Amino acid sequence: MSKKILVTGGLGFIGSHTVVALQEKGYEVVVIDNLSNSSLSVLGGITKITKSSPDFENIDLRDKVAVKKFFEKYSDIDAVIHFAASKAVGESVENPLLYYENNINTLVYLLQQLKEKDRAKFIFSSSCTVYGQADELPITESAPVKKAESPYGNTKQIGEEIIKDTCKVNDNLSAISLRYFNPIGAHPTANIGELPIGTPQNLIPFITQTAAGKRKQLSVFGDDYPTPDGTCIRDYIHVMDLARAHVIALERLLEEEQSSNYEVFNLGTGTGNSVLEVIKSFEKVSGEELPYKITDRREGDVVAAYADTSKANDVLKWKADFTLDDALASAWKWQQTLEEKKENEI
């Protein structure tokens, strides 16, 4: 009998690609999403790719009673992959209480329900922001977790601590935190991709929307950082590589192969690229010239972050397969598909 997996935030960017990867591996998937930063149309995209629609529940995980009712209805859930969270660094600086409520309370309510189960498996969508500005690059899992640069980063640090403390006193719970670097790209079919509501908070959708003429120009936040070209450096990982890593981590949990009941893995390519390098790469794969301007630094941004992925390579037998060019080409194809859909609606 196939295992039943709950994916919270399953209509979001990384969540939807992971749902596809799970369904293609034969898992039965239940999606919870409150559609605050996603769209019901993503469900159609998933179904188009896999020829199968996951169960969908429109639930706000901040509603403790609704979470309890969900687990009463779906008492046979075998594992949870938890993506549902607010995720914009800048917004978190401006509205910290929203982030603490949305990212911490929801996690606590899920873990309270899992505590009641005989065997509970949990994957947490964490982030390289837990490291702050690391002393050494590339960043290993043993790098010190420094004071967070933003409330968003802090919610990921606190989230990991909550899971670790819960695992410590609950042998029935096995959990893995996946600290990803910068997810980009889209499914090769262009049926799903990054679909920000309103003004994009992340670099790549802002790039593709600018190239498509939806935005006047791209803002590059600062060119006076201590990097080769003065712009911030990040580790950009294709969302397809990321989705595959979640399936591998899930299989590790289900087959009970962990060395302890709480583990942490970095997920990235191991290579850092500056904002200007990303712009050049996009111009190369798309053939579009990108209008951009240098603006002031953005609060909460670190100078450089890229992963040491050797632990995930060795233990999970996983590595990123796609290049930056691959990821940007797929993101551009996705953007063009969105534009075509809009034209057809007119």
Residues identified as active-site: 152
Sheet holding 173-180, edge to edge: 55-57, 28-32, 4-8, 79-82, 120-127, 173-180, 262-267
Query: CA-CA distance, 242 to 17, in Å (whole number)?
Result: 9
What is the Cα gyration radius of the chain? 19
112 φ, ψ to 5°?
-60, -40
Q: How many CA atoms lie within 13 A of 65 on its CB side?
A: 0
Is 190:339 a contact under the CB 8 Å cutoff? no
Q: State how far the alpha carbon of 18 is from the alpha carbons of 63, 235, 250, 296, in Å.
A: 24, 20, 11, 35
Quote the crossing angle between the two packed helices 275-286 and 324-345, to the nearest 10°: 60
Closest CA to 42 of 193, 160, 174: 193
**Dihedral (CA of 198, 85, 143, 249) sign:** negative
The end-to-end CA distance of the chain, in Å, is 46
Q: How far apart are CA 95 and CA 180, in angstroms?
A: 23
Please state, in angstroms and rounded to a whole number, the distance separating the CA atoms of residues 205 and 332: 9
Question: What's the CA dihedral at 238, 243, 248, 250 to 10 degrees?
Answer: 150
